[in-house]
Amino acid sequence: MVTEKENRLVTLEEYIIQSQNRFPGATGELSQLLRDIGLAAKIISREVNKAGITNILGLDGSTNVHGEAVKKLDLFADQQLISALDRSLITCMVISEENDGIVKLSSKGGKYIVYLDPLDGSSNIDVNVSIGSIFSVYMREPRFEPTVKESDALQPGVKQVAAGYVLYGSSTIIAYTTGLGVSMFTLDPSIGEFILSEQRIQIPDSGSIYSINEGSYNSWDLGLKKYVKYCQEFDPDTNRPYSARYIGSMVADIHRTLIKGGIFIYPHSKRYPNGKLRLMYECNPLSFIIEQAGGVSTDGEMRIMEKKPASIHQQTPIYIGSKQNVAKVMEFLEEHAAVEADKG
């Protein structure tokens, strides 16, 4: 592990190897998998940065499994990540937002299952706003079955062995956890390496930013409407009114929440009765990161990472961020759910 007094640059590769060396029995396979994702991230980052000057920008004309328009960069990112994972023969299957069913890789005996949101926030590509990639890694269970099947991938988020995201922003960063805190690296384009920028990141216990698509206000539950009004009230003792920030790329909104604190919400609503965001490749990995940094994540009723998935592309509501902010929104939801129940 890198110590604070060391004052030299540490690359992602070096850091992963050092972390692995702390576990004498480790096979190095998870380390390899993380390095593979790091390599794909560099290639995607390069392509994202030149998207405006190549014909890769724009719609490719098809739609993904959710009926949404797919941009070329989504497909490029999907292919890069899948082929990086395929190369080292330790991943047996990938589940990606861009593929309806499971994607079986060359190594049928591979030990890991990886979920991917290859490009998150892709509607922001055209307007030069931050986008990202999200990954979530599970151990295959049962381990030695001859064939892999979709049900092997239906594991709750608490079983993730690693998760992380890449953010293609004003700089490209990668953050990941293997359950021992969150580490973050920044890409130095001049040398083509991710350099350690922070380890054991902690989210503030409370923050003064709320992040939600307020355009859907009219279709929220009463408790959520009241909570957002609470965020907007003037009360200098509790730092209110809070600031509203909503990028529309979950990965970028969560990155800001991790650093500055506050709350990100994508609730259920009349339009999205089960929420919009995907449990397995958006909410679970980002919940693992936030929890490892000391934050919390719930669907309004239970911890996101304890949800038993019923399908690989399932959606969920999410309330995620600083402990105190999430506790406060829960108070509002519970109070008003009780009022509604009394009426009903």
Is residue 299 within the footprint of ligand AHG (CB under 6 A)? no
Span from 42-50, 116-124, 206-214, 265-273 in contact with Mn ion (CB under 5 A): 116-124
> Min. distance of Cβ 249 from ligand AHG in angstroms?
5
Is residue 63 within the footprint of ligand AHG (CB under 6 A)? no
Is residue 121 within the footprint of ligand AHG (CB under 6 A)? yes
Among 117, 152, 221, 299, binds Mn ion (CB under 5 A): 117
Question: Whole-angstrom Cα distance, residue 98 to residue 332?
Answer: 36
Site string for Mn ion, 230-269 (x = CB under 5 A): ----------------------------------------
Question: Whole-angstrom Cα distance, residue 277 to residue 234?
Answer: 31
Nearer to Mn ion, 30 or 103 (CB): 103
Q: Which does 275 bind (CB under 5 to 8 A by kind): Mn ion, ligand AHG, none?
A: none
> Min. distance of Cβ 250 from Mn ion in angstroms?
6
Give the residue among 167, 175, 156 at the shortest CA–CA distance from 279: 156
# residues contacting ligand AHG (CB under 6 A)? 10
Among 36, 78, 120, 253, binds Mn ion (CB under 5 A): 120
Nearer to ligand AHG, 16 or 40 (CB): 40
> Min. distance of Cβ 92 from ligand AHG in angstroms?
24
3-state secondary structure of 118: strand
- Torsion angle defined by CA atoms of residues 285, 111, 193 and 119, in that order, rounded to the nearest 10 degrees: -40
Q: Within 10 Å of residue 266's Cβ, how many Cβ atoms?
A: 23
Give the residue among 256, 245, 321 at the shortest CA–CA distance from 283: 321
> Min. distance of Cβ 122 from ligand AHG in angstroms?
4
Residues in the chain: 344
Task: State the DSSP string of 207-229.
Answer: -SEEE--GGGGGGS-HHHHHHHH
| Interface with ligand AHG in residues 9-48 (CB under 6 A) | none
Is residue 78 within the footprint of Mn ion (CB under 5 A)? no
Is residue 73 within the footprint of ligand AHG (CB under 6 A)? no
DSSP β-bridge partners for residue 211: 264
Nearer to ligand AHG, 20 or 269 (CB): 269
3-state secondary structure of 311: coil
Is residue 97 within the footprint of Mn ion (CB under 5 A)? yes
Is residue 250 within the footprint of ligand AHG (CB under 6 A)? yes
Q: Which amino acid is at 175?
A: A
> Min. distance of Cβ 17 from Mn ion in angstroms?
30
Instruction: Give CA 103 to chain center in angstroms.
Output: 20
Backbone CA torsion sign across 23, 24, 28, 30 = negative
Question: Whole-angstrom Cα distance, residue 59 to residue 51?
Answer: 12
Is residue 276 within the footprint of ligand AHG (CB under 6 A)? yes
Question: Whole-angstrom Cα distance, residue 184 to residue 195?
Answer: 8
3-state secondary structure of 339: helix
Among 117, 152, 193, 221, binds ligand AHG (CB under 6 A): 117
> Min. distance of Cβ 213 from ligand AHG in angstroms?
3
Look up residue 223 and give its two tokens.
């408790």
Residue 139 neighbours by CB under 8 Å, 6+ apart: 111, 112, 113, 159, 161
DSSP β-bridge partners for residue 168: 131, 172
| Residues found near ligand AHG in the complex (CB under 6 A) | 97, 117, 120-122, 213, 248-250, 276
Which residues contact Mn ion by CB under 5 A? 97, 117, 119-120
